């Protein structure tokens, strides 16, 4: 069965967290922690505080009162962490571990949401080489029976313009071969932009409308380009942009050439993409960054200011963002940043 | 999940947990079928927003295109060269029974017969698609009567004819109608064969060379005029000679027109051709190999006497002879036996063996866009194979339920790696047998015996060479003091 993912909490000096499944460290997690409803395991804050306090009653009423107050404070800190803005940088050892962490996180989110008919979990999905490991893990969880995509709606970030839908490099083919064909998602709930639509702007507006009708996106998973772009929002894109047609930057075309037999002329130069603003509207954002070639982009995204030349930096202003990366991707970060987020100082 | 009914109401079946023969290799993919056609699931997902109505777990089986048998004279007591009142029900019976051998399309073959037989039988053969009721009929294969008397084999001599006088008109007069004829076997050394071959090819009929004493140049001329097939290679033709390879030389001939390929049928039952000859032909021209059964009415029946055309034959196991002689006359091997024997004899891959029985016959007849492959939009005649298991014909019932004409059969060896359990067994057996050897050595192996070879070494001591494998010459247990 799944266990909760290893994670580093923002503040390394956090006190022992209360009994909330999502944030419990994996060593202390029971095997079915993620599947059981949280309510069954949560005890009233005050009652627990007084229980702790009563255990210390022997030390004097002042001590008991102090520990009760501390307990209440811890509770409020935790509630704050749950519902207030959080930026997390989760650093795993290698690509496989990062993929597994991300997949478990998505899996937990879906299971705890308890999607049903009429109440779908909306997921934003990326393409490219980075999320492949994550998709494989999700498929594995589905095949094991732990996860169902029956009541999940997905919205892909982008699609090339002018590439036939059944072209092996189109993002429709990518999503079909790497994800959709292995899971039980309803075809009506899998939305991908159509790069061959007669009117591309109408297609983009319709996509935005579909997201709105689905009730917004609960969790948007994305990757990052070597030039710091999110989806195809190339350097210089407006940080409030919506779904639209974009011309690809040379960096992106060069990076994609390897999928087109190294022939630059075969790489599409335009694409439909969700805007930075569209992703910012999601309730939660998770960015996967693995590999040394993304290290500089991660540095620019986290340690420098919000800048439209590195569009991922916009997520510094998102209330709930998680950056999942491996050791190689942190090569350009300051040692103290890495230590802080690993909880090592 | 119910499928979208906007395109078609027909149920969609998804075969999961299987290995498909597609793109010349076995791939781990699912097979999607609707109304007897193979679907493109990506198109179904994105365009139609459809999904499977029925999911069938194939438990790791190989799913291959249905076999196509282009030379089958009958079976289960039915003889296609015998004009009977219930000929149609006979052909339906054979069509239904050969499904369990993996054959989903076939060409009923008629041996050399009098014109009256052709006039009676040919109108009763109609080209039709296969399904759960039986294999599809692609058209008749007429093996004769325009063949050589010297290489008649089991064909009756008095029915052999020639078209030297009137050429194509003689052929038309003999056969009557050409409507449902798919393949004609003739001997190219007969005068005016070139024009006959051209006329037949013009009408889309495949011309095959067989039962002939033609030399290589006559055979090449026939190919240049349109012949594309060789009927049961090595049998009923001149043997290979290094200065005149005869028809066999077509396999490596350089006079074949560009863009054309010569196919050759082989009966790989282990009797009609020696496995070495099978290997020679396969290695010389692997892409032309077409496996045929040349099965006679006795196929599927108990040993004994049966009719073949105008003659009586005797069946003894897998051997069939003309009654009272030692002349081979057709075979009683089934197509899956032929595929398995071909696989074992040549050591080729499973994909190659399956293609020799499905893709190559489809290419010979020019129908590879519809049959012989598991490509999208082709007909869904499918063979499902288990490694080393016996045939079970239960699939046809499922096939009828899902309207897709799939059948269950065997195919040959799997190349999947051994499971951990298998490896444990193998390891245990190795240890056991090694223990047995050691025990035997302790019991019997101390003193030298005269059977073992002795060698004198330089210092006078002798070493024995041990016939038992695994025990080295330098083992001290074997050294003589």
- Domain with B308 in it: 67-371
CB contact under 8 A, B1 and A186: yes
Smallest CA–CA distance from A179 into chain B, residue: B42
Domain A87-341: which topology?
Answer: Rossmann fold (3.40.50)
Most A CBs within 10 Å, among B30, B42, B49, to test the A interface: B42
Write out residues 32-91 of A within 8 Å (CB-CB) of B. none
A206 against B454, higher pLDDT: A206
Task: Find chain B residues with C-beta within 8 A of A150's C-beta.
Answer: 1
CB contact under 8 A, A176 and B1: no
Q: Are residues B270 and B348 in the same domain?
A: yes
- In this prediction, residue A322 has a pLDDT band, given cuts at 50, 70 and 90, of very high
Residue in B30, B40, B51 closest to A187 by CB:
B51
Most B CBs within 10 Å, among A154, A181, A187, to test the B interface: A187
B139 closest CA partner among B131, B129, B154, B149: B129
Distance, in Å, from the CA atom of B241 to the CA atom of B311, rounded to the nearest integer, reads 32
**Cβ distance B98 to B106 under 8 Å?**
yes
CB contact under 8 A, B4 and A187: yes
Q: Are residues B3 and B111 in the same domain?
A: no
Smallest CA–CA distance from A186 into chain B, residue: B1
Smallest Cα distance from A143 to chain B, Å: 12
Whether A60 shows a pLDDT value over 80: the answer reads no
Smallest Cα distance from B47 to chain A, Å: 9
Q: What is the pLDDT of residues B60-105, one digit of tens each?
A: 888 888 999 999 999 988 889 988 888 999 999 999 999 989 999 9
Task: Find chain A residues with C-beta within 8 A of B4's C-beta.
Answer: 187
| Complete DSSP assignment for A125-192 | E--SSTTHHHHHHHHHHHHTTS---TTEEEEESEEESSS-TTSTTSHHHHHHHHTGGGS---GGGEE-
Distance, in Å, from the CA atom of B319 to the CA atom of B300, rounded to the nearest integer, reads 13
* Residue in A234, A284, A326, A327 annotated catalytic: A234
Spatial CB neighbours of A340, under 8 Å, sequence gap ≥ 6? A12
CB contact under 8 A, A187 and B43: no
Q: Are residues B389 and B242 in the same domain?
A: no
Point out the least confidently predicted range of A320-329, B60-69, B370-379, B445-454: B445-454
Whether A75 shows a pLDDT value over 90: the answer reads no
**Cβ distance B215 to B229 under 8 Å?**
no
User: Does the CB of B427 have a partner CB in chain A at under 8 Å?
Assistant: no
CB contact under 8 A, B45 and A181: yes
Point out the least confidently predicted range of A117-126, B276-285, B297-306: B297-306
- Work out the end-to-end distance of chain A between its first and last CA atoms, rounded to an integer number of angstroms: 33
* Residue in A158, A159, A281, A326 annotated catalytic: A158
- Average pLDDT over chain A, rounded to an integer: 83
Whether B475 shows a pLDDT value over 50: the answer reads no
Whether A74 shows a pLDDT value over 90: the answer reads no
CA B55 to mean position of chain CA atoms: 30
CB contact under 8 A, A181 and B42: yes
Q: Are residues B253 and B322 in the same domain?
A: yes
CB contact under 8 A, B4 and A184: no
Map residue B413 onto helix, strand or coil: coil
Q: Are residues B111 and B175 in the same domain?
A: yes
**What does the block give as tokens for B340?**
């398995």
Q: Which of B390, B416, B442 is the last residue of a domain?
A: B416
**Cβ distance B185 to B247 under 8 Å?**
no
B157 against A43, higher pLDDT: B157
Smallest Cα distance from B7 to chain A, Å: 15
Catalytic residue flag (residue B294): yes
| Backbone phi and psi for residue A69, each to the nearest 5 degrees, phi listed first | -65, -40
User: Does the CB of A16 have a partner CB in chain B at under 8 Å?
Assistant: no
Task: Find chain A residues with C-beta within 8 A of B46's C-beta.
Answer: 165, 172, 176, 187, 192
Residue in B1, B42, B48 closest to A176 by CB:
B42
- In this prediction, residue A6 has a pLDDT band, given cuts at 50, 70 and 90, of very low
Whether A66 shows a pLDDT value over 60: the answer reads yes
What sections of B300-456 are H helices per DSSP? 335-346, 350-357, 359-364, 395-402, 420-444
Whether B434 shows a pLDDT value over 90: the answer reads no
Element of type H or E holding A7 = none
- In this prediction, residue B287 has a pLDDT band, given cuts at 50, 70 and 90, of very high
Count of CB atoms within 10 A of residue B89's CB? Answer: 10
Q: What is the pLDDT of residues B114-156, one digit of tens each?
A: 999 999 999 999 999 888 889 999 999 999 899 999 998 888 8
**Cβ distance B226 to B207 under 8 Å?**
yes
User: Does the CB of A148 have a partner CB in chain B at under 8 Å?
Assistant: no
pTM above 0.90, yes or no: no
A17 against A199, higher pLDDT: A199
CB contact under 8 A, B42 and A188: no
Q: Are residues B270 and B329 in the same domain?
A: yes
Spatial CB neighbours of B66, under 8 Å, sequence gap ≥ 6? B102, B103, B104, B105, B130, B135, B358, B371, B381, B382, B383, B405, B407
A39 against A157, higher pLDDT: A157
CB contact under 8 A, B42 and A184: no
The arithmetic mean of pLDDT across residues A21-43, rounded, is 41
CB contact under 8 A, A190 and B1: no
**Cβ distance B154 to B329 under 8 Å?**
yes
A344 against B15, higher pLDDT: B15
Determine what percent of chain A is predicted with pLDDT higher than 90. Answer: 63
| Four-residue CA torsion sign, A141, A142, A146, A151 | positive
Whether B394 shows a pLDDT value over 70: the answer reads no
User: Does the CB of A180 have a partner CB in chain B at under 8 Å?
Assistant: yes
- Average pLDDT over chain B, rounded to an integer: 81
Smallest CA–CA distance from B16 into chain A, residue: A182
Q: How many residues does chain B have?
A: 481
CB contact under 8 A, A181 and B1: no
Residue in A150, A166, A188 closest to B42 by CB:
A166
- In this prediction, residue B466 has a pLDDT band, given cuts at 50, 70 and 90, of very low
User: Does the CB of B4 have a partner CB in chain A at under 8 Å?
Assistant: yes
Q: What is the pLDDT of residue A56?
A: 56
B5 against A251, higher pLDDT: A251
User: Does the CB of B32 have a partner CB in chain A at under 8 Å?
Assistant: no
User: Which residue is associated with the tokens 């603003």?
Assistant: A277
Distance, in Å, from the CA atom of A332 to the CA atom of A309, rounded to the nearest integer, reads 18
Map residue A87 onto helix, strand or coil: strand
Smallest Cα distance from A181 to chain B, Å: 8
User: Does the CB of A176 have a partner CB in chain B at under 8 Å?
Assistant: yes
Whether A199 shows a pLDDT value over 50: the answer reads yes
Range among A202-216, B294-308, B399-413 rated most confident? A202-216
- In this prediction, residue A54 has a pLDDT band, given cuts at 50, 70 and 90, of low
Local structure of residue B46 (DSSP, 8 states): I
Q: What is the pLDDT of residue A46?
A: 61
Q: Are residues B119 and B177 in the same domain?
A: yes
Smallest CA–CA distance from B46 into chain A, residue: A187
A231 closest CA partner among A303, A299, A314, A149: A314
Domain edges within chain A: 39-81, 87-341
Smallest Cα distance from A157 to chain B, Å: 16
Q: Are residues B365 and B430 in the same domain?
A: no
Q: What is the pLDDT of residue B476?
A: 45
- In this prediction, residue B427 has a pLDDT band, given cuts at 50, 70 and 90, of confident
User: Does the CB of A184 have a partner CB in chain B at under 8 Å?
Assistant: yes
Number of domains in chain B: 3
Q: What is the pLDDT of residues B187-240, one digit of tens each?
A: 999 999 999 999 999 999 999 999 999 999 999 999 999 999 999 999 999 999
Point out the least confidently predicted range of A330-344, B252-266, B275-289, B423-437: B423-437
Q: What is the pLDDT of residue A64?
A: 72
Distance, in Å, from the CA atom of A294 to the CA atom of B46, rounded to the nearest integer, reads 32
Point out the least confidently predicted range of A106-120, A166-180, B294-308: B294-308
Element of type H or E holding A241 = none
User: Does the CB of A117 have a partner CB in chain B at under 8 Å?
Assistant: no
A276 closest CA partner among A310, A319, A250, A322: A310
Whether A49 shows a pLDDT value over 70: the answer reads no
Catalytic residue flag (residue A284): no
Q: What is the pLDDT of residue A300?
A: 94
Determine what percent of chain A is predicted with pLDDT higher than 70. Answer: 79
Q: What is the pLDDT of residues B156-194, one digit of tens each?
A: 899 999 988 888 999 999 999 898 999 999 999 999 999
Q: What is the pLDDT of residue A24?
A: 33
Point out the least confidently predicted range of A48-57, A203-212, B55-64, B419-428: A48-57
Point out the least confidently predicted range of A258-262, B42-46, B312-316: B312-316
Q: Are residues B12 and B84 in the same domain?
A: no
Task: Find chain A residues with C-beta within 8 A of B43's C-beta.
Answer: 166
Q: Are residues B11 and B143 in the same domain?
A: no
Task: Find chain A residues with C-beta within 8 A of B31's C-beta.
Answer: none
Q: Are residues B327 and B313 in the same domain?
A: yes
The arithmetic mean of pLDDT across residues B375-404, rounded, is 49
Count of CB atoms within 10 A of residue A65's CB? Answer: 12
B136 closest CA partner among B200, B78, B70: B70
CB contact under 8 A, A172 and B46: yes
- In this prediction, residue B452 has a pLDDT band, given cuts at 50, 70 and 90, of very low
**Cβ distance B197 to B168 under 8 Å?**
no
Q: CA dihedral in degrees (A66, A68, A69, A71; nearest 10)?
A: 120
CB contact under 8 A, A187 and B45: yes
Count of CB atoms within 10 A of residue B333's CB? Answer: 24
* Residue in B269, B294, B336, B379 annotated catalytic: B294
A52 against A323, higher pLDDT: A323
Q: What is the pLDDT of residues A300-313, one digit of tens each?
A: 999 999 999 999 99
Residue in A150, A173, A184 closest to B42 by CB:
A173
Distance, in Å, from the CA atom of A48 to the CA atom of A101, rounded to the nearest integer, reads 31
Determine what percent of chain B is predicted with pLDDT higher than 70. Answer: 81
Q: Are residues B396 and B433 in the same domain?
A: no
User: Does the CB of B30 have a partner CB in chain A at under 8 Å?
Assistant: yes
CB contact under 8 A, A187 and B50: yes
């Amino acid at each position: 069965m799944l266990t909760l993912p290893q994670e580093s909490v923002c503040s390394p000096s956090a006190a022992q967290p209360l009994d909330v499944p999502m944030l419990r460290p994996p060593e202390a997690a029971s095997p079915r922690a993620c599947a059981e409803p949280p309510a069954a395991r949560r005890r009233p804050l005050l009652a627990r505080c007084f229980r702790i306090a009563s255990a210390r009653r022997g030390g004097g009423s002042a001590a008991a009162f102090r520990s009760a107050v501390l307990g209440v404070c811890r509770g409020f800190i935790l509630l704050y962490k749950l519902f207030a803005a959080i930026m997390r940088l989760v650093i795993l050892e290698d690509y496989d571990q990062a993929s597994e962490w991300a997949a478990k996180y998505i899996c937990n989110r879906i299971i705890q949401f308890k999607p049903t008919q009429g109440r779908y979990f909306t997921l934003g999905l990326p393409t490219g080489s980075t999320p492949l490991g994550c998709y494989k893990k999700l498929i594995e969880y589905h095949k094991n029976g732990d996860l169902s995509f029956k009541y999940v709606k997905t919205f892909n970030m982008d699609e090339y313009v002018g590439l036939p839908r059944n072209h092996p490099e189109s993002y429709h083919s990518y999503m079909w071969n790497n994800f959709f064909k292995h899971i039980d998602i309803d075809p009506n709930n899998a939305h991908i932009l159509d790069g061959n639509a007669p009117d591309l702007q109408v297609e983009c507006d319709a996509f935005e409308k579909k997201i709105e009708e689905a009730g917004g996106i609960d969790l948007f998973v994305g990757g990052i380009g070597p030039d710091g772009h999110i989806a195809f929002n190339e350097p210089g894109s407006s940080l409030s942009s919506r779904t639209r047609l974009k011309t690809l930057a040379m960096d992106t075309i060069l990076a994609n050439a390897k999928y087109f037999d190294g022939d630059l002329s075969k790489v599409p130069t335009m694409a439909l993409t969700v805007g930075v603003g569209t992703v910012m509207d999601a309730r939660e954002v998770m960015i996967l960054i693995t590999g040394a070639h993304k290290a500089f982009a991660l540095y620019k995204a986290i340690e420098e200011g919000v800048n439209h030349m590195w569009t991922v930096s916009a997520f510094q202003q998102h209330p709930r963002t998680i950056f999942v990366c491996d050791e190689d991707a942190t090569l350009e970060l300051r040692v103290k940043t890495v230590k802080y987020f690993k909880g090592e100082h | 999940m119910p499928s979208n009914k906007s395109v078609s109401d027909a149920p969609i079946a998804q075969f999961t947990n299987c290995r498909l023969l597609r793109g010349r290799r076995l791939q781990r993919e699912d097979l999607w079928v609707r109304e007897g056609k193979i679907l493109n699931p990506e198109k179904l997902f994105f365009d139609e927003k459809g999904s499977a109505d029925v999911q069938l777990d194939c438990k790791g089986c190989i799913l291959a295109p249905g076999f196509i048998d282009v030379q089958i004279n009958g079976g289960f007591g039915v003889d296609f060269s015998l004009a009977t009142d219930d000929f149609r029900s006979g052909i339906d019976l054979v069509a239904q029974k050969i499904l369990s051998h993996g054959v989903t399309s076939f060409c009923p073959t008629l041996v050399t017969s009098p014109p009256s037989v052709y006039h009676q039988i040919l109108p009763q053969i109609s080209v039709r698609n296969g399904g759960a009721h039986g294999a599809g009929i692609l058209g008749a294969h007429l093996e004769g009567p325009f063949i050589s008397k010297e290489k008649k084999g089991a064909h009756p001599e008095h029915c052999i004819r020639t078209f030297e006088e009137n050429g194509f008109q003689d052929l038309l007069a003999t056969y009557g109608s050409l409507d449902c004829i798919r393949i004609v076997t003739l001997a190219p050394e007969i005068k005016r064969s070139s024009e006959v071959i051209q006329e037949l090819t013009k009408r889309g009929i495949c011309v095959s060379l067989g039962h002939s004493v033609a030399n290589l140049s006559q055979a090449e001329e026939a190919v240049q005029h349109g012949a594309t097939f060789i009927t049961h290679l090595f049998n009923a033709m001149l043997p290979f000679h290094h200065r005149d390879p005869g028809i066999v030389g077509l396999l490596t001939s350089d006079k074949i027109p560009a863009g054309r390929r010569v196919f050759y049928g082989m009966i790989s039952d282990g009797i009609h051709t020696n496995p070495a000859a099978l290997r020679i032909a396969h290695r010389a021209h692997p892409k032309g190999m077409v496996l045929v059964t040349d099965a006679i009415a006795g196929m599927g029946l108990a040993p004994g006497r049966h009719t073949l055309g105008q003659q009586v034959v005797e069946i003894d196991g897998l051997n069939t002879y003309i009654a009272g002689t030692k002349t081979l006359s057709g075979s009683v091997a089934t197509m899956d036996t032929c595929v398995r024997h071909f696989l074992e004899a040549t050591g080729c891959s499973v994909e190659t063996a399956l293609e020799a029985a499905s893709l190559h016959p489809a290419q010979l007849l020019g129908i590879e866009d519809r049959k012989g492959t598991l490509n999208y939009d082709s007909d869904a005649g499918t063979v499902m194979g288990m490694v080393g298991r016996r045939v079970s014909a239960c699939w046809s019932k499922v096939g009828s339920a899902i309207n897709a004409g799939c059948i269950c059969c065997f195919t040959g060896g799997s190349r999947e790696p051994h499971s951990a359990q298998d490896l444990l067994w193998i390891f245990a057996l190795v240890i056991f047998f090694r223990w047995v050897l050691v025990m035997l050595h302790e019991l019997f192996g101390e003193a030298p015996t005269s059977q073992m070879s002795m060698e004198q070494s330089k210092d006078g001591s002798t070493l024995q060479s041990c016939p038992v494998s695994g025990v080295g010459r330098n083992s001290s247990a074997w050294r003589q003091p």
